[in-house]
Each structure stands twice: as structure tokens, then as C-alpha cells.
Chains A and B, each alone.
Chain A
Amino acid sequence: MARYAWGVIVLTVLAIVAGYAWVDWQKGGPGDGVYSRVWQPDPAFGYWHPARFYKYDGQMSGRFEGPQCVECHEALTPGIVADWRASRHSNPKGRKPIYCDSCHGNDHARLRMPDRAVCGTCHTTQHAQFLDERRFGYPSHALAMERAVDTKHFADKPKAEVTACLQCHSVAIKCDSCHTRHRFSAGEARRPEACVTCHSGPPHPDDETYFTSAHGKRYLADGNKWDWSKPLTKGNYQTPTCAYCHMKGGKHQVADKAIWKFGLQQVNPLTSTNEVKRAQWVAVCADCHEADWSRQRLAEMDAERKRAWSRLYAAEGVLEDLRGEGLLHPAAGERPPYPLEQEGALFAREHIGYLDGQASAFYNVSPIERDYFEMWYFTNLGAYKGAAHGAPEFVRDGHATMATQLEHIQAKARTLRQQGKQPVAGPWWREGEYTSHNREHN
């Protein structure tokens, strides 16, 4: 008996080692992440993930000291020199200036595009805090690049198309998403607008929900008069901003207090871990509000989420029933391939729900699946952000829209049932300029 047990243990260890080796091999391709072997980077990726993709073109050679860089670039790119002059790098208190070469290097033929590791050589506390965020998992700034490149739709779509993703997901790689170059101002990053280039749009209307909240209205009315050089601590600001709550005291972590996270899954908000996070939220609110009042607001958000998920699960149930009855049209095997899936695969299956991969199900799917994607990824998340940021009209409108969307999905399902099993999907589902191009180009 013991002999067999040893066999099982040895096989398990071998399987684990082989699994690690396989993932490692997968990451060794020209792209990045676990699908790196199936795609080639677009040239623009060099600016979004320099350590992985930037190649200097070597058009200019020679070694230069900082003041020489400034002398030439004053004429060539005066805007960034003016930025640098206005930054603390050019005039740090009691220290020597941090010139261009400190970050870009001296050898003009091998200049580097700095990423967070370069900033982190001096800004050690912030960099360490930032990296530490990884232990909270997705979503987080620190894991944003992995989140982008490891999704199937990123790997599958043409790379010029998904460059759009990397502009925001590069927040994991570079500090200038928030501290814009070449001024790298802390005061600028403290203002809510610094976040909205990425935190906007249908899945995360953080901008609209904040600016229409009581906090945001106060900011819009008075924010220009405030002293943004002050740290994000009690008494320094009349109303909270994105960074005040999510990065209290300037701590470079946004994921450490996240209970409902992105809003894509239902969570149990009352686990012991989430109770610790809840206490941290209450402590933030307590800079201005009573603790009981703050707990009540958080409980209201939990209730809003519960209502949202009862609607979302109802819609998922409709889709799962249709899938079971084989009524989704075109069926999975009749579509252009799902990201990275083989066309005409034996066990082709429609993806319903977050854990089944529905985040990639916004294209090459049947219309009713796309309807659910929009209900889940846009309307649901808008209502969530309304609840989180104190914008009740977003909650009200979001839930009204979700109710309409659910009715629409149910009505469509009734029609599909009346029509019964469909004939094989027409060629227009699988052919066409973009669809055919995408089959060969990713």
C-alpha cells in the first residue's frame, strides 16, 4: 500500500514541476504573459512596457552628463525641460539635482525608458508599497499588466487594436500614469482628474460617480483653491478625493481595502478579512463622519450589491438554460473561434459567467450573450460605482436599466424557444473582412 502512496506522491510532484516548466515555457515567446508564444508586439508597446519591448534605435551616440542633456534638449524638446525645471528633481531640498541621465543613462546609443524599477531605486518606500499590493490579487495597479496580457481577448485580437488596453494597464509598469512626466508632481497625482484618463467609461465610471457625489461637487466648486502640496491626512482637505480614500496618507496601494473589488463577482462582504477591510474604511470615513453613519453607508452598498446579483444570476440562469437546450445561435462551434480556441472544436462551449470566461465574451458571440455582457460589465458596474462613491442617481438608473435588460433577455429567450433549434449558422457569422483578418492576425 505504502508503495502505491509513494507512486502517487512522486507523480504529483512531477506533475507540479512539469506545470511550472510549462507555464515558464509559455512565457518565453515574443509577446508577454502566458500567451506570449501566440502573438507579436506592436511597436508602440515599447513605450507601455519598456523593459520587455523597448529597443533604442541607436540613431545618436555618445556619452553625456546631465547638464549637457539639458543644454541640447532645451532647444529640441523645450516642453519637457521646462517640466523638469519645475519639478523637485531639478531642485531637491539640500541635495544635488536629479538630471536626465539618472533615469535614462549616459550612453545615448543605449538610453533606457525608465519604468517603476528605475523610480524605485530612490523612491523605495512607494515602490515597495506598490509591489506589496500584489498580495491582494486582482484587481490592483501592481498586477494590471498581467491582467491585460493574460486575457484571451488581448492575446487573440490584432495588436494595434489592443494597444488601447496597454495605455492604462501600463500603470503596473510606469509611475507616469499618475505622476506625469517630466514634472512627476505628487500634488498633481492627488487630484481626482489624475485618475480619470483610465477610471472612466462604461465599466468604471469612477469619474462621473465621484464628480456627481456630494464629495465631488464640493471638490469641483472649491478644489482649485486648495493647497495640493499637503499630504492626504485628516484636516488637510475639505472633502475627500480618489487618492484621499483609496491611498490614505499617500500609501501607494489601492487594493488593500477592496471588499467588492471590480464588481464582476459576488463576494461575501462579511468574511473576517472583509471585516478588517471594513474597519479600515470606517477609519477613513471617520476623518469627517461618525463611525456608525459610515458603517450604515457600507451596509447599504452591500445591500445594493445583493440586489444587483439577484438580477445578474437570473440573467445568467436564462443563458445557461438556453445553452443546455442548444438554443444559443450561432452555437459555440459555429462562430469564429473564441479567443485562442480552435475553430470547429469538439467540445466548443459558450462561456457564461465570470468564472467561465465571460469577460472575453464581448465579440464573436450570439446577440443575447452580448446583451448579458453589457448588463453585467457596464450597467452593473455603473450601479456599483454609484453606490461606492455616493451617487444615488447612478444606483437608481443602473438598477432600472438592469431590470429592463433582464426583461429583454427573458423575452429574447422566449422567442428563441418559440423558434426552436436553428439551422446551421450562415456564413456571415464566420466570414467578413475583420473576422477573417482576425483569424490570421493577432
Chain B
Amino acid sequence: MALLLRTGLVLLLSIGTAFAQPPAGSFNDAQCVACHGETSPEVHGYRLSKHGVLAQISTPGRAPGCVDCHTPQAHHPADTDAMSQTCGHCHSPRYVETLRANGVRMQEVGNMKQREALQLLTRARSQFPAAALQDVEKHYQHLQQHLRNLRLGVAHQSPDYQWWHGHPALDGDLLRIKGAYDELMRRHAADPKH
């Protein structure tokens, strides 16, 4: 029984390791969605974007799908110049550049929120034992998810992911990290052994 369990565990771990590295090869949109999942921020955010909407309800080929921008060799490092050319099929170079630069700035504002939170978290880690940091760490994990939503919202032009699943969610994480840190400091002041 123990051997069976151990073999199962090893098998599960090796599958996990295999998927930690994105698979190499050539893909189509259906395969992308099958692996990433309909509810993943990358697929759901894209579906909500105007491109994603048109891919669902307009004539085929009118709006870009996954591999039109990411290429069928999607897991290779992205070639941003080639991506810009895809945008240029419909949009002017100035439009593409303006929106891209805006997206970089929007993302950077998100990074500022993350760095502010990390600075406080780092201070908390140096002051308190790990067992006391559950709340702060949990909020920081949420913050990292929301920062990813923001990045994908920018990349896929999804206002819902840039905003509701992005920036205001990051604001909530940041103030909750501050609140949890506040709580730690207060308890410590009341009882330094705590």
C-alpha cells in the first residue's frame, strides 16, 4: 500500500514538473484554451476584450486569436516587433505605440503598489516570526495574482482585467497589508513577547 502511494506521489510530482515547463511545439487557439482554461485570467480577459468578442461573433479572421499574436510557437520568447506588425494589420503605428506606452505606464503604477507592499512585508518578516505573518502573506499572494491580472488586462486590452480585477483590487490588497502590519505592531506594543 505504502509503495503504491509512493509510486503515485512520484508520478504526480513528475507530471507537475513536466507542466512547470511550458510544452514546446506548435499550437492552435483551441489547444491554448484547453490548457490555460476558460476561467483563467488570460483566456477570460481576452474573451472580454473587443478582439475576443469579435472572434466569437464576427466573421473568422476579423480579430486576432491567441496564435495570431503569440504565434503557433507560443511558448518561445515573444517577439514584440512581430506582434506590433500584427497590430499594424488594422491599427496605425501611432495608435499601437500610444496604447503600448500607456500600458507600460499602467503596469508600472501596479508595480509601484507591489513594491510598496513588499517593502512592508519584508519589514514584517524581519520583525516577526513566520507563524505571525499568515494574514500579511495571504494578502501579498492576492496582490501578486491581481498584478498578474493587470498585466494580462493590459496585454489583451481588457478594461475589466486592467481595472476591476487589477488596480482597485491591488489597492485593497495594499491597504489590508498595512492593516495586518498595524495589527502586528499593536499586539507587539501591548505584549512584546507576542
User: Which A residues are closer than 8 A to B by beta carbons?
Assistant: 42-44, 46-47, 57, 59, 76-80, 82-83, 86, 158, 160-161, 163-165, 167-168, 180, 183, 185, 188, 191, 193-194, 196-198, 200-203, 207, 329, 362-367, 370, 374, 419, 422-423, 425-426, 428-429, 432-435, 437
A197, B53: Cβ atoms closer than 8 Å: yes
Nearest CB on A from B37, distance (A):
16
Q: How far is the CA of A429 from the CA of B168 in the complex (A)?
A: 17
State the CA gap A319–B85 with chains docked (Å). Answer: 53
- CB-nearest residue of chain A to B102: A44
Supplied contacts A80-B90, A163-B102, 15 more A-B pairs, CB within 8 Å: A78-B89, A160-B109, A161-B109, A164-B153, A167-B157, A180-B54, A188-B57, A207-B48, A367-B175, A367-B179, A370-B175, A370-B176, A422-B186, A433-B113, A434-B112
With A78-B89, A434-B113 already in contact, the answer to whether A193 and B57 are too (CB < 8 A) is yes
- Let me know if A79 and B89 touch, CB within 8 A: yes
Q: How far is the CA of A76 from the CA of B94 in the complex (A)?
A: 13
A194 and B172 contact, CB distance less than 8 A: no
Rounded to whole angstroms, the CA-CA distance of A82 and B50 in the bound complex is 17
B92, B116, B162, B185: the one within 8 Å of A435 (CB): B116
Q: Say how far B19's CB is from chain A's closest CB, in angstroms.
A: 28
The smallest C-beta distance from B26 to any residue of chain A, in angstroms, reads: 24
CA distance A191 to B172 in the complex (A): 34
B54:A42 contact, CB within 8 angstroms? no
Q: Beyond A43-B102, A47-B95, A433-B115, is A365–B175 a contact (Cβ under 8 Å)?
A: yes
B108 at the interface (CB under 8 A from A): yes
Q: Which of A180, A185, A422, A434 contacts B116 (CB 8 A)?
A: A434
Smallest Cβ distance from A147 to chain B, in angstroms? 14
Which residues of A lie under 8 Å from residue B160 when comparing CB positions?
A: 197-198, 200-201
Q: How far is the CB of B132 from chain A (nearest CB, A)?
A: 17
Known: A196-B48, A197-B49, A201-B163. A77 touches B57 (CB 8 A): no
How far in angstroms is the closest Cβ of chain A from B81? 17
- The reply on B73 being an interface residue by CB < 8 A is no
Is B8 an interface residue when CB atoms closer than 8 A count as contact? no
Quick one: which of A158, A160, A426 has the most chain B CB within 10 A? A160
Q: Would you mind naming 25 contact pairs between A and B with Cβ atoms under 8 Å apart?
A: A43-B98, A44-B102, A79-B89, A83-B62, A161-B106, A163-B102, A193-B53, A193-B56, A193-B57, A194-B57, A197-B50, A198-B160, A201-B165, A362-B172, A367-B176, A423-B189, A426-B181, A426-B182, A428-B178, A428-B181, A432-B120, A433-B112, A434-B113, A434-B116, A435-B116
> Please, which residues of chain A bring their CB within 8 A of the CB of B109?
158, 160-161, 434, 437
B90 touches A165 (CB 8 A): no
Q: Of B59, B101, B102, which is in contact with the most chain A CB atoms at under 10 Å from its CB?
A: B102
The answer to whether B112 and A437 touch across the interface, beta carbons within 8 angstroms, is yes
**Minimum distance in angstroms from A381 CB to a CB of chain B:** 11
Chain A CB within 8 A of B76 CB: no
| Docked pose: A428 CA to B122 CA in angstroms | 13
Chain A CB count within 10 A is highest, among B95, B120, B159, B185, for B159
Q: Does B10 interact with chain A (Cβ within 8 Å)?
A: no
Q: Which chain B residues in 150-173 approach chain A with CB under 8 Å?
A: 153, 157-160, 162-168, 171-172
Chain A CB within 8 A of B58 CB? yes
Judged by a CB distance under 8 angstroms, whether B91 is at the interface is yes
Say whether, besides A367-B176, A422-B186, A46 and B98 are in contact (CB < 8 Å): yes
Chain B residues within an 8 Å CB radius of A362: 168, 171-172
How far apart are the CA atoms of A428 and B179 in the complex, in Å? Answer: 10
Residues in B31-61 with C-beta less than 8 Å from chain A: 48-50, 53-54, 56-59
Q: Enumerate chain B residues within 8 angstroms of A47, measured Cβ to Cβ.
A: 95, 98-99
Q: How far is the CA of A185 from the CA of B53 in the complex (A)?
A: 14
The closest CB in chain A to the CB of B104 belongs to: A160
Complex CA gap A233/B108 in Å reads 48
Q: Which residues does chain B contribute within 8 Å of A160, judged by CB atoms? A: 102, 105-106, 108-109
Q: Which of B62, B119, B159 lies in contact with A433, CB distance below 8 A? A: B119
Determine whether the beta carbon of B182 is less than 8 Å from that of A197. Answer: no
Q: Does A433 lie within 8 Å of B50, measured CB to CB?
A: no
Q: How far is the CB of A364 from chain B (nearest CB, A)?
A: 7
**Is B174 in contact with chain A by the CB < 8 A criterion?**
yes
Cross-chain contact of A329 among B89, B168, B182 (Cβ < 8 A): B182
Q: Is B88 an interface residue (CB 8 A)?
A: yes
* Residues B108 and A433 in contact, CB atoms below 8 Å apart: no
Chain A's closest residue to B88 (CB) is A77
Q: Could you say which of A59, A425, A433 has the most chain B C-beta atoms within 10 Å of its C-beta? A: A433
CA gap between A364 and B175 in the complex, in Å: 7
Q: Which residues of A contact B171 (CB under 8 A)?
A: 362-364
In the bound complex, CA of A78 to CA of B160 (Å): 29
Measured CB to CB, the nearest residue on chain B to A202 is: B164
B88 touching A197, Cβ below 8 Å: no
Check A77 against B91 for contact (C-beta < 8 Å).
yes
Alpha-carbon distance between A433 and B59 when the two chains are bound, in angstroms: 46
**For B49, what are the chain A residues with a Cβ–Cβ distance below 8 Å?**
197
Contacts of A164 in B (CB 8 A): 106, 153, 159, 162-163, 166-167
CA distance A80 to B90 in the complex (A): 5
**Known pairs A163-B106, A164-B163; A43 contacts B101 (CB<8 A):** yes
Query: Which residues from chain A contact B164 at a C-beta distance below 8 Å?
Result: 201-203
Q: Which residues does chain A contribute within 8 Å of B168, judged by CB atoms?
A: 362-363
Residues from chain A with Cβ under 8 Å of B48 in the complex: 196-197, 200, 207
Q: A77, B92: Cβ atoms under 8 Å?
A: yes
Which 7 A-B pairs rank lowest in CB-CB distance, beginning with the nearest?
A: A79-B90, A160-B105, A432-B116, A363-B171, A201-B164, A367-B179, A44-B102
